[in-house]
């Protein structure tokens, strides 16, 4: 399955992402992963993103 992660920058440092965890694309840098975990804000964090009007799924998958 194509992941296409390279098309998404790390949300913390801007380098090509390698992981999609804690509702965020991040690279393999542990500091970025930790930052994503904190940014997510624990359980329900992705709903917070949704409440802020940010997409919680890739745009490509949001199309019919
Ligand atoms: Zn990063």
Is the C-alpha dihedral spanning 39, 15, 26, 11 positive or negative? positive
At 26-39, the pLDDT tens digits run 999 999 999 998 88
The CA 15 to ligand 1 mean position distance, Å, reads 6
The CA 43 to ligand 1 mean position distance, Å, reads 22
The CA 35 to ligand 1 mean position distance, Å, reads 9
Residue 6 has pLDDT above 80, yes or no: no
The CA 26 to ligand 1 mean position distance, Å, reads 5
**What confidence tier does 23 reach under pLDDT thresholds 50, 70, 90?**
confident
Across 35-56, average pLDDT: 69
The CA 61 to ligand 1 mean position distance, Å, reads 23
The residues, ordered by sequence, that sit 6+ positions from 18 with a Cβ below 8 Å of its Cβ are: 5, 26, 27, 28
Global model pTM greater than 0.85: no
DSSP 3-state of 45: helix
């Amino acid at each position: 399955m194509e992941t296409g992660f390279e098309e998404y920058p790390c949300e913390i440092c801007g380098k090509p992402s390698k992981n999609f965890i804690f509702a965020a694309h991040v690279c393999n840098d542990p500091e970025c992963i930790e930052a994503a975990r904190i940014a997510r804000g624990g359980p329900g964090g992705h709903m917070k993103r949704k409440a802020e009007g940010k997409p919680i799924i890739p745009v490509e998958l949001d199309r019919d």
